[in-house]
Structure 1
């Protein structure tokens, strides 16, 4: 029978190869019970060698932290710009769109070309998005009000949610802090998660803009499950497993 050290080495090797492991797979491979595997994962986590997740473990910390927007803007900048360019191509004349907060949707705002789009209306919770579009007098911008989150330069709260109830939008462009195949889409702030849910409710199509570093991560506030979004635009850093899983859940995945 395989001993404790050999089991632990097998788990570490598989983590290094795939980035994550599942309890059920390890049980089959090592021919031990789930209780044994969970004890092994706890011991390895206590040594700082992995992070336990629901049903398995990951090599990387799955929990996101709330960084200031000016710091986030420099992370995966080239990927964000490619994602934003693909998203900008989805905006059509006469659209009334919602742009949530985040650095990837800010990159989208910078790429919108109003000269090619007639009668474009943009509703946003993000101050930096509104200021970016302020340079285009032909775009009607509606800035939501509410409690200001300094870390994201955006508003949240019941006032913003109540104002949204009066609108119906063709598309929502949503940034997130985490995408977990089991838990869904998340952000680091629960009030922002509530506002994002209301944005989804009033939009005909919900489009998530997220670079591949957001996958396998969880924020504190759950926004929604995958059944409530239509499309994810991301970069080629996502795994084949994630890509196929999302497609299996009916989500269109665009890789740039």
Structure 2
């Protein structure tokens, strides 16, 4: 089994668990990135690779790629491994009514705590959704929705099918995720920097506005001055000359 087959085998056997690292199969990040691009080009996988900001003398760099098998990748694997079709039946989710109810509660801003007596399908689904970044842990066994991904949760509720949902996500922009890494900065420093930028932007805009208004005032004063000068010349020079 070559490295391409090993990666597909690993992703197939762990399908539904979101994006997975393959560093245990291919420790070389550059090689893993190259292989991921080739598999992605063939439509067999989706790739999530974060771009991290360096600190000090460290330049920006990319993290080790995380991969997830696509529907095409599953079909290719099963066609090459006919006996594997029954191996992954536990990964199939039926999306029962109580599961849909939990998703609807997430949409309403409610949280959900996993306990041993919870339905098995829900206990299986929530870690998958967390791996996909659709929900997050707010406590050890407690989950809540990431409201920035309401569209995805809504689509899963609409489809009521995990496999169809994965196919739908194939067409979404999930090929890469960029994460800002403010290394060496505290949250307060980051917030302060953001506020400074906003204040500077506001000041700059006000100065520009005032500069624009001042220029119009100067032009108007210049015109009035000329008219006043002409009137004075007429009153004291031309009028007396005519008389």
Q: Which is strand-richer, 1 or 2?
A: 1
Q: What TM-score does the superposition give when structure 1 sets the normalisation length?
A: 0.28
Q: What TM-score does the superposition give when structure 2 sets the normalisation length?
A: 0.29
Instruction: Identify which of structures 1 and 2 has the higher relative contact order when contacts are C-alpha pairs closer than 8 Å and 6+ apart.
Output: 2
Q: Which is helix-richer, 1 or 2?
A: 2
